[in-house]
Amino acid sequence: MNDHIRTVLIVGGGTAGWMAAAAFAKTLGSDCAIRLVESEEIGTVGVGEATVPHLSYFNRFLEIDEAEFVRQTQGTFKLGIQFNDWGKPGDSYIHGFGSIGHDIAMQPFHQLWLRAHKLGLAGDIGDYSINTLAAPRGRFMASPRDAPPSSPLANIAYAYHFDAGRYARHLRGYAESRGVRRTEGKIAQVLLRPDDGFVEAVQLESGERIEAELFIDCSGFRGLLIEQALHTGYEEWTQWLPCDRALAVACEKVGPPTPYTRCTARDAGWQWRIPLQHRTGNGYVYASQHISDDEAAATLLANLDGKALGDPRPLRFVTGRRRQAWNRNVVSLGLASGFMEPLESTSIYMIQSGIMRLLSLMPRRDFSPVLRDRYNAQVAVESERIRDFLILHYKATQRDGSAFWRQCRDMPIPAALQDTIDLFRDTGSFFREGFEEMFGLVSWVQVMIGQGIMPARCHPLAEQMPEADLRQFMQGVRQVLESCVDAMPPHEAFIARHCAAAMAA
């Protein structure tokens, strides 16, 4: 027992810092002293306010009530992401969470759909998912407890839109009530042990010295510990993800919040729209070599639903990741560990994944390199497959009206991504790369088909079903889903009944 980690220092607050503090407080309890240092003067980035469904698992792990969480963060619900104008101008599809249709024996539903679609027996693939049918109609509900297990209503997958700053404050209260000690201040110096280069302590501008055994770097792009002190190195991915800047601005709410995020392609990048209960978050992610900051701001402001609630806030970034997310006795989370633009709302997921992975590989005081190496290897695989999924959105385009999109369309891509595309283009096949891959078959299928990558043929087993049975099967799936969507209430009505924020406009 004497070799257990007894002291943890989290450097930086924001979503990453307070998610880590809450999880450690819940897991390590009174056996470990947890402290967090942050400065109100520095602030946080907070470019994204949308998530993937995994966050609900994290909140349940913390035993946070969902309705209270949504209320406190002015949140709404998210069934997926609508992509407009990505394949070519005028195109629109939804990458919905959850399943598509239902599989038969060894055949994923999309294989049967491919055959039916080629025979003229099926509509768009989005017609066969409860999420992609309900989202554009503005309908939402959580799965009722009495739904039959075979009903699509029994397993509705969803995520959230929320105010990330409010979420961090909510987690701060949770963590502090469980013994986490917060210190206000700026770090002036990082002190390393002379014998092995491990971080020994940080010294604040006030002169206070804070020692710890395990350090969690949540200091944002600066990477105060992982990079500035330990010189870990950064692997840059701008050759595949060329956007390097973003502008973010909120605008007034002008109607019922949509139960989906919207991503609209622009001439030099893309624009997000994230509806909350009290306002709508917007942003333009763009490549500075193709548009000026002033032009980007003008484009963003010209495409808002309502009146802007301030000036656009700028953000500069370099896509990529630290060469080691865990170096010596420092583990980096959030922007300190790397950055991939918020196209598929993966930023908060990556924080959550890092926290849970660290807890599963929790070191002792000797910081076994076996644990560190496994952690870093898993982070590498997960990050690279998310990277490839994001690259797919840019590569799979027929847009040619701007230099930016021509660059994306014509760029060489990682070999693993090319193999994935080639395999799917041949017979619609996809194979997940193991536990560390975040996005599964349904996600890859929706984006590839949504952006015009259609398989030349279906799997041979999908041709075994008689044509008449295939027609009946596709019609039956569609009818069941339509009736389920009809039973769902409007998104805003569900919020009003279950989790409306007291001060929501």
Number of residues that make up the chain: 505
Residue 395 is a catalytic residue: no
Beta strands in 228-312 (DSSP E): 234-236, 245-252, 261-266, 269-275, 279-286
C-beta separation of 228 from 215 below 8 A:
no
Question: In terms of DSSP bridges, do strands 199-204 and 187-192 run parallel, antiparallel, or are they unpaired?
Answer: antiparallel
C-beta separation of 301 from 312 below 8 A:
yes
Retrieve residue 23's tokens: 């999880």
CA atoms within 13 A on the CB side of 299: 21
Q: State how far the alpha carbon of 218 is from the alpha carbons of 21, 208, 330, 349, 354, in Å.
A: 11, 20, 10, 15, 12
Retrieve residue 88's tokens: 């070519």
Full strand arrangement of the beta sheet holding 279-286: 92-96, 80-84, 261-266, 269-275, 279-286, 245-252, 313-316
Q: Which of 83, 94, 90 is nearest to 129 (CA)?
A: 94
Please give the helix or strand (H or E) that residue 294 lies within, else none: helix 293-302
Among 26, 78, 118, 253, the active-site one is: 78
Report, as residue numbers or ranges, the catalytic residues. Answer: 78
